[in-house]
Chain A
Amino acid sequence: MENTVLKVEDFSAYFGDNKILKEINLTVTKNIVAALMGPSGCGKTTLIRCVNRMHELIPGTRISGRMRLNDQDIYSMEPIVLRRKVGMVFQKPNPFPTMSIYENVIAGYKLNGIRRPREEFDNIVEQSLKKAALWNEVKDNLHRKGTFLSGGQQQRLCIARALAMNPEILLLDEPTSALDPKSTSQIEELFVELKQNVTMLLVTHNIAQAARVSDVTAFIYLGELVEFGPTEKMFTVPKDKRTEEYLTGKFG
């Protein structure tokens, strides 16, 4: 399995005395979209926040087990180094309000004090915005504030900002839940195109979205990984009874 990007082994996460994730085992291979679905509060967001160690911002959390990103132990890396390799897109579009579109795309370089010649930055901005399917809409307004864009455009700007850092994996935390249906379908199409460049881990509570965009799906319920496999298989012949009940809308 030299194609493995993310390997999660016996991974548990606790918040105080609550065990939020229970012995998760999961392998994500290169250039796919892996969806994590499950009802609210099942721990799927916690799981992807453990990948870039954003859960550590909340005091009282601890973990056990292992997580490896391209064969490097995530929990023996410096969080700052790790987070530069892992891109993240949040539920709510969050471009930096004080920065222009251009500055937003290269924010990962600028804020970290990474210097590059101007032409290289120009190039990074153009390539990232093209990958995020936003270039044509904003190429004449690169120096306007990012917050003037629509919600869907802002979210694509955030995707471009993450892509600009050439991440080894892109974490998507319910990236369309704050968007209207049209922006949602644009962004879903974008994910399918992005597969050739980057591996994605998508958290969604929308079953249809998981079905539309993902190659493999993990169903998490009450902190447990109930089922993990190719999306097509899981949606047609689920192995576990709970998966079937969830997919048919009996709970969740």
Chain B
Amino acid sequence: MERHIGVRLVKDMAFKGLICLLAFASALPLFLILYYITKNGIAVIDWSFLLNLPRPIGETGGGIASAIVGTMMLIILSGVISIPFGIATGIYLSENKEGKLSNTVRLCVIVLQGTPSIVIGIIAYIWVVAPLKTFSAISGGIALSIMMLPVIIKTTEETLKLIPYHLKEASLALGVPYYKTILKVVLPAGLSGITTGILLSVARITGETAPLLFTAFGNQFMNLNILKPIDSLPYRIFYYAMSPYPEWHTFAWGASFILVVFTLAFNLIARGISAKWKIQF
């Protein structure tokens, strides 16, 4: 009897130790990534790196200004396209839990979420780049907005589903029309969740490279025209890293560092918002 309990206690301890160890092991790669990127990247980061355009082969120096501006433009473009569609679809799904259209849409969202990003890039190429006969910022924005859609739709739907039904009833019972009830009562109550979803989707697409290869394409000059090719951080990292020049390799690290900071910032802001704006029902 005594011995048996001893064995069980040892097994308990072993189990607790094991899950603790595995949890630590899975967090480790993230820290290693951050460590390498910081170690190799931080050295090249200064104002000239951030504010200069990429230089042609053979010249020393240069920076990632066009890539930073390009990535910001892509975020804005894809956000402008995907946020209205995403929120409207999320509202529709949360309002219509059953029904042919909502079940179909829900299935499409799941499929879209699992679609490889390179395929979405090809689609955007066929839809936008081919007819316009040029690589362009807008085609990149469209590709990225398709990637953002499932995240925004899902978070909007889940957030709105959690809003108590009696709030909607309270508004309708005051004679408030349905559309105003949704826009002025239900949506504001879900604002923190929806904003969090948008920021997470932005964090997701900021680092996407594949859909940009044959849409936004990359551009070593500063470009603000949405109908012309545009640079982006992931593309610039790819370009610098594939080059044979050691200086450009360090630039790739620097750009990676900036990209990781972007992504991390979006994630942290999203967490902050979901905690700060939390609404008590």
- Chains A and B form a bound pair: yes
Interface pair B173/A88, CB less than 8 Å apart: yes
Interface membership of chain B positions 169-205, coded 1 if the CB is closer than 8 angstroms to chain A and 0 otherwise:
1111111110011001100110100000000000000
Interface pair B172/A165, CB less than 8 Å apart: no
Nearest CB of B to A140, in Å: 21
Answer yes or no: B104 CB below 8 A from chain A CBs: no
Tell which of A75-83, A128-136, A182-190 binds the partner. Answer: A75-83
Our pick among B169, B181, B184 for the contact of A54 (Cβ within 8 Å) is: B169
Q: In the complex, A91→B173 CA distance in Å?
A: 13
Most A CB contacts (10 A, CB to CB) among B169, B174, B184, B280 go to B174
Answer yes or no: A156 CB below 8 A from chain B CBs: no
Interface pair A94/B174, CB less than 8 Å apart: no
Q: In the complex, A132→B10 CA distance in Å?
A: 64
Interface pair B180/A112, CB less than 8 Å apart: yes
Which residue in chain B gives the minimum CB-CB distance to A97? B279
Answer yes or no: B281 CB below 8 A from chain A CBs: yes
Answer yes or no: B167 CB below 8 A from chain A CBs: yes
Answer yes or no: B4 CB below 8 A from chain A CBs: no
Interface pair A83/B188, CB less than 8 Å apart: no
Interface pair B185/A96, CB less than 8 Å apart: yes
Interface pair B174/A111, CB less than 8 Å apart: yes
Interface pair A80/B175, CB less than 8 Å apart: yes
Q: In the complex, A178→B83 CA distance in Å?
A: 39
Q: In the complex, A112→B181 CA distance in Å?
A: 9
Nearest CB of A to B166, in Å: 4
Which residue in chain A gives the minimum CB-CB distance to B191? A98
Residues of B within 8 A of A94 (CB): 164, 166-167, 169-170
Interface pair B167/A108, CB less than 8 Å apart: no
Interface pair B189/A97, CB less than 8 Å apart: yes
Interface pair A80/B164, CB less than 8 Å apart: no
Q: In the complex, A200→B28 CA distance in Å?
A: 65
Q: In the complex, A149→B191 CA distance in Å?
A: 22
Within 246-281 of B, Cβ neighbours of A (below 8 Å) are at 279-281
Nearest CB of A to B258, in Å: 37
Residues of B within 8 A of A80 (CB): 175-177
Answer yes or no: A66 CB below 8 A from chain B CBs: no
Interface pair B173/A54, CB less than 8 Å apart: yes
Nearest CB of A to B189, in Å: 6
Q: In the complex, A90→B181 CA distance in Å?
A: 17
Nearest CB of A to B152, in Å: 21
Interface pair B173/A83, CB less than 8 Å apart: yes
Residues of B within 8 A of A145 (CB): 280
Q: In the complex, A87→B189 CA distance in Å?
A: 23
Interface pair B174/A107, CB less than 8 Å apart: yes
Interface pair B280/A161, CB less than 8 Å apart: no
Residues of A within 8 A of B175 (CB): 79-85, 108, 112, 165
Q: In the complex, A60→B42 CA distance in Å?
A: 64
Interface pair B172/A147, CB less than 8 Å apart: no
Interface pair A108/B174, CB less than 8 Å apart: yes
Residues of B within 8 A of A86 (CB): 173
Residues of A within 8 A of B172 (CB): 54, 57, 83
Most B CB contacts (10 A, CB to CB) among A83, A86, A147 go to A83
Interface pair B166/A92, CB less than 8 Å apart: yes
Q: In the complex, A108→B177 CA distance in Å?
A: 11
Residues of B within 8 A of A79 (CB): 175
Residues of B within 8 A of A107 (CB): 171, 174
Which residue in chain B gives the minimum CB-CB distance to A56? B172
Q: Report, nearest first, the 4 A-B pairs whose CB atoms are least far apart.
A: A84-B175, A83-B175, A88-B173, A108-B174
15 A/B residue pairs, CB under 8 Å, sorted by A: A52-B173, A82-B175, A83-B173, A83-B174, A90-B166, A94-B169, A96-B189, A98-B185, A111-B180, A111-B181, A111-B185, A112-B174, A112-B180, A161-B170, A165-B175
14 extra A-B contacts, CB within 8 A, seeds A84-B174, A85-B175, A90-B170: A54-B169, A83-B175, A86-B173, A87-B173, A90-B169, A92-B164, A92-B166, A94-B167, A98-B188, A108-B174, A111-B176, A111-B185, A147-B281, A162-B174
